[in-house]
Amino acid sequence: MDYQGSGIGTGVALGPVLRMPEPLPEPRNEPRTADADEEKARAATALSETSEHITARGLEAGGAAKEVLEAQAMMAADPSLLEDVNARIEGGSTAERAVFEAFAGFRDMLVGLGGYMAERATDLDDVSQRVIARLCGVPAPGVPESPTPFVLVARDLAPADTALLDLDKVLALVTSDGGPTSHTAILAREKSIVAVVGASGALQIEEGATVVVDAAAGLVTVDPDDARRDEAERAIAERRTRAEAPVTPGALADGTPVPLLANLGSAAGAADAVAKGAEGVGLFRTEFLFLDAAEAPSVEAQREQYSQVLAAFGGRKVVVRALDAGADKPLKFLNDQHEENPALGLRGLRSLRASEQILRDQLTALAEAAAANEADVQVMAPMVATVEEAAYFADLAHELGLATAGVMIEIPAAALLAERVLAVCDFASIGTNDLTQYTMAADRMLGTVSSYQSPWHPAVLRLVAEVGAAGARLGKPVGICGEAAADPLLAVVLVGLGATSLSMSPAALADVRAQLAAVSLDEARNLSSVALAAASAEEAHAAVRAALTR
């Protein structure tokens, strides 16, 4: 029996299934018998302790998990939530029931907002369960313990669970819900865990059953035959060998160089990226400096943070993305006005132009850091839609002392006019996550339309080809910095379409490096033609896999 879903990465795992326990039952809606003040105190203590516990788990986990868990901890510590709980207790509810109903009310509000906020409703459910478990004096729902390695099957995983998975025990993750942008998928990528998400029907797999989880194919096979077991074991051994192989610069089989760069969200990940063989940074996200701030950080504070990253990559390329706020990252001092569809609103370069001093300060700080370090510093603007926007950003960056200024191609309009866009700036970097979202009209933060969110879709690949061809004609670099670059098969196709460098999570570098080394530039171009000729993302993926195995 096979179950199809969205694979995260390209790994393969083989092992017995353990299932996540079912959530706690809904607290009974029965009259309160205890004193109201006592119940309020119990609820306040449970909320506070839950918030502290989640924060501690975040500090232990680090990375993207820390950010996710900090957001959850803030939910439990929200004063308005406590006020709601207290009001319900005053109305006669028990602490358990009051917490359940208060969180449910917040959940309904998020679902009503839609988009990214609706996706966060699952996080509220998890926090609610943890608070109620603390009130009831029972263990919080979570990952089961096992003395031996296992494949974890769940409806979906809460961030608090995913963050601290024992990677010596969890061979792979399989979820029936969620999509490629869910927290499970995000953290699986960061930790390089084999995962298949959104595998409908996977909850029917019996505990103890042996499964093969093939992330590249997005397939979970139950009770595999001997041939499938042998194939999986070979793939696992080969991947282990690749991970242990000496690090070399990214290149195709014919020697064509394809620099492999790292996507970083803060200076903290620089050392790990270097250790894994990153040849530079293709996307340094600067949002971490701004997201928790009441006002924009000073030039001095920014310069210090940028210098930490640049120092780790002396002599190598570091591409810094200007602040990309808006949509799922609103900032009070920049663009906190409610928008019906923020993904199409005042975000990226648009919001920076509306508050130009913030942009000027950021570019000034980066130029000062660049002058004090040996890295090849480049800067790029997010969400560029027009030639005029590209020229505005490049001119401003040059004026403030940055020699190399480019743009992110995330909007179909910019891809279709790529030659004119590249004529007024120094390079382009394709953000495949947003380019896919805008091409397919499918919010990438919304799991209900996750089936549309594949960068393998020929429509997306045609836009990449437009940019690649424009870069070749003008002799200007075209990088890829979206999640697509971390898919080894798709990485080959992207190079065939004209990408001159690939940037990804450091965990993906070894797999991509090995796949590129197996094909020549001519073969990559042929594979890109195969993908473009397909009618769907699924057909493109399958056709390229078939062509490579011939």
SS3 27: coil
- Of the listed 338, 425, 457, 481, which one is catalytic? 481
Residue 129 lies in domain: 36-136
Q: Evaluate if residue 255 carries a pLDDT over 70.
A: yes
Give pLDDT, residue 345.
81
What are 513's two structure tokens?
């490096």
Task: Please check whether residue 191 is in contact with residue 171, taking contact to mean a CB–CB distance below 8 angstroms.
Answer: no
- Whether residues 130 and 160 fall in one domain: no
Specify if 251 maps to a domain.
no
Position 335 confidence tier, pLDDT thresholds 50, 70, 90 = low
Mean pLDDT, rounded, for 262-282: 92
Mean pLDDT, rounded, for 332-348: 72
Give pLDDT, residue 261.
97
Q: Which of 9-13, 328-332, 445-449 has the highest mean pLDDT?
A: 9-13
Distance CA 9, CA 7 (A): 6
- Whether residues 107 and 163 fall in one domain: no
481 has catalytic annotation: yes
- Domain count of the chain? 3
Mean pLDDT, rounded, for 49-68: 80
Specify if 27 maps to a domain.
no
What are 132's two structure tokens?
């109620």
Domain containing residue 103: CATH number: 1.10.274.10
Specify if 249 maps to a domain.
no
SS3 478: strand
Specify if 252 maps to a domain.
no
Distance CA 167, CA 153 (A): 15
Domain containing residue 345: CATH number: 3.20.20.60
- Whether residues 46 and 10 fall in one domain: no
Q: pLDDT (tens digit, 9 = 90+) per residue, 161-219?
A: 776 677 889 999 999 987 766 667 777 877 778 999 989 899 999 999 999 999 988 89
- Which residue, of 88, 109, 136, is where some domain finishes? 136
What are 203's two structure tokens?
């909850």
Task: Please check whether residue 464 is in contact with residue 430, taking contact to mean a CB–CB distance below 8 angstroms.
Answer: yes
Specify if 31 maps to a domain.
no
Specify if 311 maps to a domain.
yes
Question: 338 versus 500: which is more confidently predicted?
Answer: 500
183 has catalytic annotation: yes
Q: pLDDT (tens digit, 9 = 90+) per residue, 352-385?
A: 998 999 999 999 999 999 999 999 999 999 999 9
Give pLDDT, residue 328.
53
Specify if 399 maps to a domain.
yes
Least confident range from 217-226, 321-330, 513-522: namely 321-330
- Whether residues 467 and 433 fall in one domain: yes
Distance CA 241, CA 518 (A): 15
- Whether residues 317 and 420 fall in one domain: yes
Distance CA 202, CA 150 (A): 15
Give pLDDT, residue 246.
84
- Whether residues 125 and 234 fall in one domain: no
Tell me which long-range contacts 70-77 makes (C-beta under 8 A, separation of at least 24). Answer: 71/120, 71/123, 72/123, 72/126, 72/127, 72/158, 72/159, 72/160, 75/106, 75/123, 75/124, 75/127, 76/47, 76/48, 76/50, 76/51, 76/127, 76/130, 76/131, 77/47, 77/48, 77/51
- Whether residues 325 and 466 fall in one domain: yes
Question: What ranges in 36-94 are assigned the alpha helix state H?
Answer: 36-61, 63-76, 79-90
- Whether residues 162 and 305 fall in one domain: no
Task: Please check whether residue 411 is in contact with residue 438, taking contact to mean a CB–CB distance below 8 angstroms.
Answer: yes
- Whether residues 379 and 472 fall in one domain: yes
- Which residue, of 181, 214, 242, is where some domain finishes? 242
Mean pLDDT, rounded, for 316-334: 78
* Amino acid present at 163: A
Specify if 26 maps to a domain.
no
Give pLDDT, residue 188.
80
Give pLDDT, residue 331.
64
Give pLDDT, residue 298.
94
Distance CA 89, CA 32 (A): 8
Domain containing residue 206: CATH number: 3.50.30.10
- Of the listed 183, 425, 457, 541, which one is catalytic? 183
Quote the percentage of the chain above a pLDDT of 90.
Answer: 61
434: Cβ–Cβ under 8 A, 6 or more apart, which residues?
A: 383, 408, 410, 411, 444, 482
Q: Which residue shows structure tokens 């490579």?
A: 548
Pseudo-torsion of CA 293, 298, 300, 304, nearest 10°?
30
Assessment of whether the complete model's pTM goes beyond 0.85 = no
- Whether residues 409 and 524 fall in one domain: yes
- Whether residues 378 and 518 fall in one domain: yes
Give pLDDT, residue 330.
58
Give pLDDT, residue 163.
66
Task: Please check whether residue 464 is in contact with residue 494, taking contact to mean a CB–CB distance below 8 angstroms.
Answer: yes
- Whether residues 237 and 271 fall in one domain: no
Give pLDDT, residue 37.
93
